């Protein structure tokens, strides 16, 4: 295992899991009926698998959003093969656009009239930059000066997650037979003090969504019955993390890490 500070939360358990089992296996979960879940950024990676886990656990309704229709079509077919009774609402939605989320809320109200869980999963990492000396000829930007993708990452990862909360928490509050939950996907990178493994923009966005979840839980749990969670899913291979694989890449970036 990588030796990281204890507060990073990577080495605090004696057992490491590489697949769902026991209470973490959706096949062992039986959700109440009705149970409706929204997942943004559902077309690929974590969002895709989060969606299928809820389908397997028996969700009665799934709202899946993405910016790519073909991804949503493929995911809809997969959901229906797992859980034919699940009602699926698939919508193109860009979480950087308030108007897209306003319309999505209207559609969810019309189709389901309730929402049990809203998962702000849509996220990106800064674009790779060309570097002939790096494995594969590309690397992530290092430091604030190289991270020219900063604003886009913050807008999608942080402001986009805020927009999901802003527009969907009212529907969570209205759904009284709860508790209802807002979930934002965070990362170990939220504890990174430099850009040795992930970029400045990504690290900043993830520590900020941690605090949003803390605020939301403190402000809405007792008053409105809405719980909030920042979930770190672990080291997961997705289309966005393909470039992070391989011993050469890891060694080259680990040497750039420093902790005080």
Is 251 a residue whose pLDDT tops 60? no
Residue 211 class from Cβ within 10 Å (0-12 exposed, 13-18 middle, 19+ buried)? exposed
| In-domain check, residue 55 | yes
Query: Is 206 assigned a catalytic role?
Result: yes
Residue 130: both structure tokens together = 């060309």
| In-domain check, residue 19 | no
| In-domain check, residue 43 | yes
pLDDT at 68: 93
Question: What CATH code is carried by the domain that includes residue 177?
Answer: 3.40.50.720
| In-domain check, residue 6 | no
Local confidence band at 8 (pLDDT 50, 70, 90 cut-offs): low
Average pLDDT over residues 36-53: 96
| In-domain check, residue 3 | no
- Quick check: 79 and 105 in contact, CB under 8 A? no
Question: For residue 42, which of 27, 59, 30 has the smallest C-alpha distance?
Answer: 59
pLDDT in tens, 214-231: 999 999 999 999 999 999
CB neighbour list of residue 128: distance below 8 Å, 6 or more residues apart: 138, 139, 140, 141, 243
36-45, 96-105, 129-138, 210-219: lowest mean pLDDT where?
A: 129-138
Average pLDDT over residues 165-188: 95
Q: What is the CB neighbour count within 10 angstroms for residue 42?
A: 30
pLDDT in tens, 64-80: 999 999 999 999 999 99
CA Rg value for the chain: 19
Question: For residue 240, which of 124, 89, 122 has the smallest C-alpha distance?
Answer: 124
Query: Is 54 assigned a catalytic role?
Result: no
Q: What is the CB neighbour count within 10 angstroms for residue 180?
A: 25
Catalytic hit among 87, 106, 166, 206: 206
Range of the domain at 67: 27-254
Residue 61: both structure tokens together = 């309704």
pTM for the structure as a whole = 0.88
pLDDT at 70: 96
Average pLDDT over residues 94-112: 98
Q: What is the CB neighbour count within 10 angstroms for residue 57?
A: 18
How many domains are there within the chain?
Answer: 1
pLDDT at 43: 94
| In-domain check, residue 10 | no
Q: What is the SS3 assignment for 206? A: helix
Local confidence band at 134 (pLDDT 50, 70, 90 cut-offs): confident
| In-domain check, residue 17 | no
Catalytic hit among 69, 176, 202, 229: 202
Question: For residue 29, which of 147, 117, 156, 109 has the smallest C-alpha distance?
Answer: 117
| In-domain check, residue 194 | yes
């Amino acid at each position: 295992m990588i030796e990281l500070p204890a507060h990073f939360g990577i080495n605090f358990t004696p057992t490491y899991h590489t697949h769902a089992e026991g209470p973490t296996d959706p096949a062992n979960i039986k959700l109440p009926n009705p149970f409706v879940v929204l997942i943004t950024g559902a077309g690929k990676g974590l969002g895709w698998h989060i969606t299928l886990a809820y389908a397997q656990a028996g969700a009665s309704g799934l709202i899946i959003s993405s910016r790519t229709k073909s991804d949503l079509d493929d995911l809809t077919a997969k959901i229906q093969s797992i859980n034919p009774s699940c009602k699926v609402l698939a919508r193109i939605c860009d979480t950087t656009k308030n108007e897209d989320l306003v319309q999505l809320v209207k559609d969810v109200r019309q189709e389901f009239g309730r929402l049990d869980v809203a998962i702000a999963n849509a996220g990106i990492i800064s674009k790779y930059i060309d570097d002939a000396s790096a494995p594969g000829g590309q690397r992530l930007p290092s430091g604030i000066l190289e991270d020219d993708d900063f604003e886009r990452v913050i807008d999608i990862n942080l402001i986009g997650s805020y927009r999901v909360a802003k527009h969907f928490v009212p529907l969570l509050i209205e759904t009284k037979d709860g508790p209802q939950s807002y979930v934002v996907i965070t990362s170990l990178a939220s504890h990174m003090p430099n850009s040795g493994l992930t970029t400045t923009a990504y690290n900043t966005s993830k520590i900020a969504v941690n605090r949003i979840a803390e605020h939301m839980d403190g402000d809405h749990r007792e008053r409105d019955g809405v719980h909030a969670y920042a979930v770190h899913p672990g080291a997961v291979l997705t289309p966005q993390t393909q470039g992070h694989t391989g011993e050469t890449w890891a060694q080259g970036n680990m040497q750039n890490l420093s902790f005080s």
